């Protein structure tokens, strides 16, 4: 019984594979249609976003003249305080200061979603990135966050100073949306949708089309079959027209 069931499963999979090959043109058409929808939606419905970056450098207090001790202290500050600096860059006092200074009509949570802070390994250079649909607004917010974060870091951690590495740039090219990625996703979704429709229609179709279907579904052996004369069928269709 197990062998029979396995054989039937293999036959079904082969039929589905052959069916998909026969409907390859439909699948490709759906895929291109999905890519076209994704392109149109990304081009005209999703606003472009711009990213402005600024950097600061955190100076630690050095109370010892021993070079080794200073190096160890700097390394520890880089490893253990970096996360603190990053959190402080997006802390509530910083966000509220930026909102008040620029008179932004948004909440602190909304502003926080536009800001990201990162730092390379073993450094005290912090990169603040602001993403916005307006390039000038992205630059203004990045500069304001940098200045507010400098004050907050000094007051909370007691570091010696926080210096500017570079001011925020005015972005020219948008960073989003990702047109290429969205088109690829739309292409794949279109193909998957077409495959799903074809397989579902195949699974729910219980009509008998071949003598093999009679033996499979009804369990009756076919003694013979009458071939359809295509020429006569065409003549009948012409007469009806």
The structural domains of the chain, with segments of one domain joined by +, span: 2-43+178-240, 50-166
The per-residue pLDDT for range 14-51, each reduced to its tens digit, is 888 889 999 999 999 999 999 999 999 999 999 999 99
Residue 219 backbone class (left: φ over 0; alpha: ψ -120 to 50; beta: rest) = left
DSSP 169: P
Cβ-based burial of 209 (10 A; exposed 0-12, middle 13-18, buried ≥19)? exposed
- As assigned by CATH, the class of the 50-166 domain is alpha beta
Structure tokens at 128: 């603040």
Closest CA to 94 of 131, 146, 44: 146
Please give the Cα distance from 54 to 52 (Å, whole number): 7
What pTM did the predictor assign? 0.71
| Predicted local confidence at residue 231, as pLDDT | 53
The per-residue pLDDT for range 45-93, each reduced to its tens digit, is 999 999 999 999 988 665 444 444 445 555 554 566 788 899 999 999 9
Sign of CA dihedral 212, 218, 223, 225: negative
Task: Let me know: does 50 contact 181? Beta carbons within 8 Å.
Answer: no
Percent share of the chain, pLDDT over 90: 58
User: Which residue did the predictor score with more confidence, 209 or 104?
Assistant: 104
pLDDT at 103 over 80: yes
Please give the Cα distance from 122 to 75 (Å, whole number): 7
Residue 178 backbone class (left: φ over 0; alpha: ψ -120 to 50; beta: rest) = beta
Please give the Cα distance from 61 to 161 (Å, whole number): 8
């Amino acid at each position: 019984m197990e062998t029979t069931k396995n054989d039937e499963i293999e036959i079904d999979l082969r039929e589905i594979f052959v069916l998909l090959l026969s409907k390859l043109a439909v699948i490709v058409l759906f895929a291109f249609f999905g890519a076209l929808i994704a392109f149109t939606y990304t081009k005209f419905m999703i606003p472009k976003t711009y990213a402005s970056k600024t950097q600061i450098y955190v100076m630690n207090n050095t109370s010892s003249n021993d070079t080794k001790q200073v190096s160890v202290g700097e390394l520890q500050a880089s490893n253990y305080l970096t996360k603190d600096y990053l959190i402080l860059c997006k802390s509530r006092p910083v966000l509220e200061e930026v909102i008040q200074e620029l008179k932004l009509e948004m909440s602190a949570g909304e502003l926080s979603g536009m800001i990201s802070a990162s730092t390379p390994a073993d450094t005290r250079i912090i990169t603040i990135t602001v993403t916005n649909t307006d390039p000038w607004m992205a630059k203004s917010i990045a500069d304001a966050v940098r200045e507010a974060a400098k004050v907050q870091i000094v007051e909370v951690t007691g570091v010696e100073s926080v210096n500017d590495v570079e001011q925020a740039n005015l972005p020219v090219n948008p960073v989003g949306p990702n047109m290429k990625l969205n088109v690829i996703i739309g292409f794949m979704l279109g193909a998957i949708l077409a495959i799903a429709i074809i397989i579902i229609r195949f699974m729910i179709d219980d009509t008998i089309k071949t003598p093999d279907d009679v033996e499979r579904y009804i369990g009756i052996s076919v003694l013979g079959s009458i071939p359809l004369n295509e020429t006569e069928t065409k003549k009948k269709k012409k007469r009806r027209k």
